[in-house]
Amino acid sequence: MTMSDNFLPFALPEIGEDEIAEVVDTLRSGWVTTGPKARRFEQAFAEFLGEPQIECIAVNSATAGLHLALEALGIGPGDEVITTTHTFTATAEVVRYLGADVVLVDIDPKTLNIDPKLVEAEITPKTRCIIPVHYAGLAVDMIAILDIARKHGLRVVEDAAHALPTTLEKELIGTMGSDATVFSFYANKTMTTGEGGMLVTRNAELARRAKVMRLHGMNRDAFDRFTAKVPSWYYEIVAPGFKYNLTDIAAALGLHQLKRIPAFQARRELIAQAYNDAFADLPLIPPPQPVEGDTHSWHLYVLRLSEELEMERDVFIERLYAAGIGCSVHYIPLHLHPYWRDRYGLRPEQFPHSQKAFERMVSIPLYTAMTDADVQRVIRIVREIVLG
């Protein structure tokens, strides 16, 4: 096979005319930083979740949202936070921002999500919080996680960067009863604002603190001060905060991307099913499927090469690229990265399921801007590589 001139990227956003018009309107309005459209976006997100009273706090990344949630919960030096090794480093690094320590556990090989049994086994008197990650868009067993948290008096902050609009027992992730849930709107996610995220919580005190810390620790934000009808220049710094606000330019994208989430998910599911059907006879392990009646967001489509296929994963990736198909690996587990490995003395044999999955996994293109022809091309190339 030779490199195609028509390279198919691993992921592309789908931006429509409504999004473009809303951004242009924002630029013409003169209000380009956090303002009325960011407020509208927060309100629209609460309505999407079906809980208009829930607090939605727009931020400039999911990483920022996770950091704000943990800070508001008082996580700090001497505390431990349990999460999965099979995630992007952002999930864990926010714990270190606060001086707390990360405890990594393995995944359930059936779901590739954090294994609740292993979470409970790692709880110590120092444990304060659990961060479950809804990997690839499949819901974690939140019933088990929340039961463990209640039993041990722990906080729960969900990393839902992949999980819009994932459901568990027909309830949307973001409404499950954890202390906070954080979504991502990065460019390759199920909806995008370019960069951005949303912190969701029912905890009024957590929300109040996160709003203050989102913008330098000010007790009044710029929108409130600059739109007041009377002089309102005065504010106070009540804490050493961060610069985590979402701009109105980004929120303008989000307003229309959010409306398209049902259609986006339906298209992603259609592509995932086409892959499932096309690869069923190959020595490939398909992604874990949702329980009947529940929704997988299908942020990622992660194949694993079975042991019957005598081909190294890296060779498989090289052949995909040579045929003009972009792909990726989600993820290089945290226990293999020098910082986490060296700080906590981690070894691959401590995480056998994550390690095995990593060595055989590859994420292939799955995004709404793909045409049917693109999907069929990926299918054809994968089959050619596997069958020789």
Query: Which residues are designated catalytic?
Result: 189
Task: Judge whether 99 and 70 are in contact, CB under 8 Å.
Answer: no
Strands (DSSP E) contained in 9-154 are: 55-59, 80-84, 101-105, 127-131
Compute φ and ψ for 304, nearest 5 degrees.
-125, 135
Measured CA to CA, the distance from residue 28 to residue 140 in angstroms comes to: 43
Task: Judge whether 54 and 276 are in contact, CB under 8 Å.
Answer: no
Exposed e or buried b per residue across 29-52, where buried means at least 16 C-beta atoms within 10 angstroms of its C-beta: eebbbbbebbebbbebbbebbeee
Q: Any alpha helices (H) in 115-247, and if so which ranges?
A: 116-121, 142-152, 204-214, 222-226
Q: Which has the closest alpha carbon to 164: 64, 86, 56? A: 56
Measured CA to CA, the distance from residue 269 to residue 278 in angstroms comes to: 14
Measured CA to CA, the distance from residue 40 to residue 61 in angstroms comes to: 18
Task: Judge whether 334 and 133 are in contact, CB under 8 Å.
Answer: no
Structure tokens at 17: 């005319």
Task: Judge whether 191 and 166 are in contact, CB under 8 Å.
Answer: no
